[in-house]
Structures are given as structure tokens and as C-alpha cells.
Amino acid sequence: MKLQRTTLVLILLALGLGGFVYFHEIKSAPEPKEVKQQQKIFSFKEDDVQSLTVKTQNQTLNLERTNKSEEPKWMMKSPETAPASNAIVGYLMNLLVEGKSDRIVSISPNQLAEFGLDQPQTTIEVKLKNQKTHQLILGKPDFNRRFLYAQTDPQNKPGSNTDVLLVSTDFENAVNRELSEWKQPIDDGKNPLPILINLQMMGKNPLPITINLQMMGKNPLPITINLQMMGKNPFPITINLQMMEKNPLPILINRLQ
């Protein structure tokens, strides 16, 4: 009887100790500061954007929308003034408008250096047509280089935590470019397509035709002109050529009977 009573006391003590550990060590333990899953980085639309400033460790670019339906839709304002590549700017714009964060973690301000956000690799400033501005700050990649640590519109207040996003490494590819890549490619005629002109006139008194050609490319395109004249008084043709290179374009004129 005494042994059973002792066993019962030991069981009750074990249950009490287990309950103490559960409530004081496990139940009251702070939860991780990871918040929110998969959400868009910004809520604005592409048409809302008026200008972009991209500041990397090597250069600072200012890009402004031209508000034209035809190209170029973007102009580089600095460090040079030139039409900007719609494809390159459009790629970055798509990431800003459609990009999502994989997750968000909350850190203290003294941890910013651990994520590369105290001296960021890139800062992107977006100015909207309503004069509001947004910032995206890009820090270090995570341990397996799947994501970049980033901040949006940072407001680092003393004593308060700040949110850090994990965003796609595509942002790194979008901004780390040579200055020449940001410019609109110039069609200098280095690899032009050949031109074929077919003329077929069947009237007795056809109208005269004038063909004006001005070629300035380094390797100008070949031109083939086929003439098929079936009238009694074939039409006069005048071909004016203005060639400004040392190696002028080849021209072949065939008269088809």
C-alpha cells in the first residue's frame, strides 16, 4: 500500500514538472519573426510610372518616360542623354510591377549590415505621375543565392524592427549592366537585308519612275531591279544613288523581255 502511494506521488510530480516545462519553456517561447508569404512588392502599375533612377556601385542612371506611343518610350537623362532601350527598361519595369517577395522577415535595425542593406548594391527610385515616390533597396543574396534581401520604402525608426523582403535575383541581372546596354540599339546598316524591286509595266505610255537610294551603312545591301516592259513606249527610269561609304552597294538591273 505504501509502495502504491509513493508511485502515485512520483507520477503526480512528473506530471506537474511536465506541465511547468510546457507552459514556461514551450508555450511561452517567442515565435519566429517571419511574416507574410508571397505578396507583390509594389501595387502601382507600369503606366503610373514617370521616371526611374537606378543607382548601383558603378553608376547612376536617370530614365524618364517620353509618353509617346512609338519608340523610344524611355529617354536616358543622365549620365548621358540618349534614347533608352525599351527592352532593357521594360524588363526592369516588369519586375517592379509584377514581382513578388517570397517571404518577409522582421529584423532589428542593427542587423541591416548582415543582409547587405546598410551599403546596398543597388537602389531603385520610382517616381509616379502623381508625384509619389517608392524605393527598392537591394542587398546581399541569401545563402543559396536563390533570392536577394531587399527593402521597400525603408523607414528605419530607432528601436523598431524593419521588414526585409526576399526577392528574385532577376533584379540583380536587370540592373547590373554596362551603360551601352541601357541605350537604344542603333540600326547602322551593318547587316541590312537585300532589296528586290520588281517593275512590270503594260501600258502604252507608262509614267516615269524615279528611285532614290541613300546608303550609309558599312556593308550596304545589294539591290536587284527587275524590269519587265511590255508597252510600245517603255517608261523612263531614273535611279539616283547617294553612297557615302568606300564600298558602295552592288546593284543588278535585269531587263526581262
E strand or H helix at 243: strand 237-243
Q: What's the rounded Cα separation, in Å, for the pair 115 and 106?
A: 12
Kindly give the residue spans of alpha helices, DSSP state H, lying in the chain.
Answer: 2-21, 86-98, 170-175, 179-182
Q: Going by C-beta distance under 8 Å and a sequence separation of 6 or more, which residues neighbour residue 98?
A: 40
Contact 74, 144 (CB under 8 A): no
**Across-strand partners of 134?**
126
Radius of gyration of the chain (CA): 35
- At 213, list the grid cell: 537610294
Q: Strand 237-243 relative to strand 195-201: parallel, antiparallel, unpaired? A: unpaired
pLDDT tens-digit readout, 183-240: 998 764 554 545 556 655 556 655 566 666 555 444 455 566 666 665 555 656 666 5
Taking Cα atoms as reference points, which of 102, 94, 100 lies closest to residue 45? 94
Q: What's the rounded Cα separation, in Å, for the pair 186 and 15?
A: 80
Three-state DSSP class for 137?
strand
pLDDT tens-digit readout, 131-170: 999 999 999 999 899 999 999 998 766 768 889 999 999 9
Contact 41, 167 (CB under 8 A): yes
pLDDT tens-digit readout, 4-33: 666 665 666 666 665 554 444 444 433 435
What global pTM score does this model have? 0.61
Q: Strands of 223-229's sheet, edge to edge?
A: 195-201, 223-229, 251-256
Contact 155, 90 (CB under 8 A): no
